[in-house]
């Protein structure tokens, strides 16, 4: 892979990268459109509810270690721009289809070039041999088969950056002046029970994460948000970019219950009740839509 926009640009092999440093970071990988299914306007794209997310243990070299060895970012650069290794079919405008994403230079504190996921060599389907991982950022920024990383003054003009993954009003086209899908927001959802419960004590399970900010707490309501009780985190804390399973015991009577969860991060950000309508159904973290209706018998 090639590194540009540094004092001493050069090409490096994965083998060379492996001797330059190593870190292991757990981070949620989530599609910008996770939750899109809840938007009433039928936002175009895969209609994800909660399935477009996972928590991955990434191992690779901190990008900062590599960049420091190459003299640091060039003066005036404000973005880290990663380019995927996909070959572009003849006859297509490369800019219209290439996977090239820019993220703010502040991501240099945590970015890595990963060659393993969950302690096994990174498979090609997940971006192997090398993937640019930006912990806490939406999936699209984690460029697969990365072949080029550049520190740049401006964001790339590739379509996926310039007009894609931009938050705008319903009906509007995408453009570079709109917010880009970078840091993920605080979010949670219930995993169990999903449909049926038994009268009496039920254990309510879910997951929560804070994007780039560590979690403070998760509250759970079994009456659709009228009353809340703090849940308990379950298992080891894998760090600020990971999700945390949570659990809360609740005594449920027969009938219908609306179970919802609401996470809060250590900066005090908390999930809103509703959704913010936007053309592509990005970044939905409203707690109401993410609840589940459970029939207890």
Q: Can you give the binding site for a second copy, defined by CB under 8 A?
A: 18-19, 21-26, 57, 59, 200-203, 234-239, 242, 245, 247, 249
CB of 221 to a second copy, least distance (A): 20
Q: Whose structure tokens read 């908390």?
A: 270
Smallest gap from residue 202 Cβ to a second copy (A): 7
Q: Which CB atom, from 18 or from 172, has the smaller least distance to a second copy? A: 18
Q: 261: closest CA among 226, 288, 232?
A: 288
Report the distance separating Cα 1 and Cα 205, nearest Å. 42
What does the DSSP 8-state code read for residue 164? T
Which DSSP helix (H) or strand (E) runs through 161?
helix 159-162
15 contacts: CB under 8 Å, gap ≥ 6: none
First to last CA, the chain: 58
Q: Which is nearer to a second copy, 177 or 196 (CB)?
A: 196
Query: 87 vs 297, which CB is nearer to a second copy?
Result: 297
For residue 50, the cross-strand partners are none
**CB-wise, 139 or 240, nearer to a second copy?**
240
**Choice between 176 and 200, CB closer to a second copy:** 200
Secondary element (H or E) of residue 62: strand 53-62
The DSSP 8-state label assigned to residue 272 in this structure reads -
Least separation in angstroms between residue 232's CB and a second copy is: 9
Nearest approach in angstroms of CB 101 to a second copy is 26
Minimal CA–CA distance to 133: which of 61, 79, 239? 61
Measure the CA–CA gap between 128 and 106, rounded to whole angstroms: 25
Name the residue nearer to a second copy (CB basis): 44 or 230. 230
């Amino acid at each position: 892979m090639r590194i540009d926009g540094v004092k001493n640009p050069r090409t490096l092999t994965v083998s060379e990268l492996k001797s330059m440093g190593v870190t292991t970071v757990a981070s949620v990988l989530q599609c910008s459109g996770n939750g899109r299914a809840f938007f009433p306007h039928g936002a175009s794209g895969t209609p994800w509810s909660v399935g477009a997310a996972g928590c991955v243990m990434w191992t690779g070299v901190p990008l900062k270690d590599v960049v420091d060895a190459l003299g640091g970012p060039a003066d005036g650069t404000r973005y880290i721009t990663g380019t995927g290794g996909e070959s572009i079919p003849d006859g297509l405008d490369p800019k219209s289809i290439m996977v090239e994403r820019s993220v703010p230079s502040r991501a240099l504190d945590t970015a890595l070039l990963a060659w393993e996921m969950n302690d096994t060599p990174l498979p090609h389907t997940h971006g192997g041999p090398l993937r640019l991982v930006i912990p806490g950022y939406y999936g699209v920024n984690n460029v697969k088969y990365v072949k080029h990383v550049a520190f740049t003054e401006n964001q790339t003009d590739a379509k996926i950056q310039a007009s894609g993954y931009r938050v705008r009003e319903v009906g509007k086209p995408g453009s570079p002046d709109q917010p880009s899908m970078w840091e993920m927001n605080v979010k949670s959802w219930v995993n169990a029970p999903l449909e049926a419960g038994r009268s009496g004590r039920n254990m309510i399970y879910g997951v929560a994460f804070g994007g780039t900010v560590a979690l403070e707490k998760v509250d759970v309501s079994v009456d659709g948000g009228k009353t809340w009780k703090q849940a308990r985190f379950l298992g080891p804390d894998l760090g600020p970019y990971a999700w945390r399973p949570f659990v809360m015991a609740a005594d449920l009577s027969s009938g219908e219950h609306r179970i919802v969860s609401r996470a809060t991060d250590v900066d005090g950000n908390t999930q809103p009740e509703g959704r913010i309508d936007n053309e592509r159904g990005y970044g939905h973290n409203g707690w109401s839509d993410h609840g589940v209706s459970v029939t207890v018998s």
